[in-house]
């Protein structure tokens, strides 16, 4: 199936290049195309007086072939995708390369190091004993300030 898709894709590319080329040598209503570049008589001398008719038929034929091949290619690609799983499933089931595994391991190790550093930072600077002692000291200071204020007021 993949070989057939590749062949048809190649034919679509060749047909599109030919179609672009044939459109470029056509004379437009304003006399454009090759004649605008100074080669107006070239198509008449190569193809004869019926050059416009031959080029028009060739353009039409190439356009029909291009559209037909594109439809066939679209159908083949859609059938190919139905046979296989979705892109997400293919990605999830894909086997990791050694480089991807090494990168994933390095990221996990770095994340563990960062977690350890974060835990060190978030540990309280004071223990429960320190907090209770500080509270007692603060209460003592406040009590002494209150006593000093009341004695001074008398």
Report pLDDT digits (tens) over 12-55. 999 999 999 999 988 776 655 555 555 555 555 555 556 668 88
Residues 54 and 113 in one domain: no
- Is residue 138 in a domain? no
Domain count, the chain: 2
Residues 85 and 108 occupy one common structural domain: no
Domain that holds residue 80: 2-93
The model's pLDDT over 69-97, given as tens digits with 9 standing for 90+, comes to 999 999 998 888 775 556 666 666 666 66
Q: Is residue 119 part of a domain?
A: yes
Mean pLDDT of the chain: 76
Q: Do 69 and 44 share a structural domain?
A: yes
Q: Is 60 a domain residue?
A: yes
Confidence band, pLDDT 50/70/90 cuts, at residue 64: very high
Answer whether residue 134 is part of any domain: no
Token pair of 58 as six digits: 């060739």
Look at residue 52 and tell me if it is in a domain. Answer: yes
Can you tell me the distance from the alpha carbon of 154 to that of 142, in angstroms, rounded to the nearest whole number?
19
Q: Residue 60 above 90 pLDDT?
A: yes
CA distances from 32 to 22, 48, 63, 73, 141 (A): 13, 19, 21, 34, 100
Do both 45 and 65 map to the same domain? Answer: yes
- Tell me what pLDDT residue 51 has: 62
**One domain for residues 13 and 26:** yes
* Residue 11: pLDDT band with limits 50, 70, 90: very high
More confident residue, 9 or 151: 9
Q: Are residues 41 and 84 in the same domain?
A: yes
Give tens-digit pLDDT for 92-145: 666 666 777 777 888 888 888 877 777 666 666 667 777 788 888 888 888 777
- Following CA atoms 107, 100, 96, 1 in sequence, which dihedral angle do they give, to the nearest 10 degrees? 140
Please indicate, yes or no, if residue 54 is contained in any of the structural domains. Answer: yes
Higher pLDDT, 134 or 6: 6
**For 121, phi and psi rounded to 5 degrees?**
-70, -35
Mark whether 10 and 43 lie in a shared domain. Answer: yes
State whether 39 and 108 are in the same domain. no
**Is residue 21 situated within a structural domain?**
yes
Q: Return the H-helix or E-strand segment holding 104.
A: helix 98-122
In a domain, 140, yes or no: no
């Amino acid at each position: 199936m993949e070989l057939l898709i590749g062949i048809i894709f190649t034919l679509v590319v060749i047909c599109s290049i030919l179609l672009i080329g044939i459109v470029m040598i056509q004379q437009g209503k304003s006399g454009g195309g090759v004649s605008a570049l100074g080669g107006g008589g070239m198509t008449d001398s190569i193809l004869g007086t019926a050059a416009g008719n031959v080029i028009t038929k060739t353009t039409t034929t190439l356009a029909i072939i291009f559209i037909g091949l594109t439809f066939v290619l679209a159908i083949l690609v859609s059938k190919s995708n139905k046979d296989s799983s979705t892109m997400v499933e293919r990605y999830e089931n894909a086997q990791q390369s050694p480089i991807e595994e090494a990168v994933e391991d390095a990221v996990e190790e770095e994340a563990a190091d960062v977690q350890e550093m974060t835990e060190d930072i978030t540990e309280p600077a004071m223990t429960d004993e320190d907090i209770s002692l500080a509270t007692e000291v603060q209460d003592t200071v406040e009590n002494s300030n209150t006593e000093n204020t009341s004695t001074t007021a008398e």
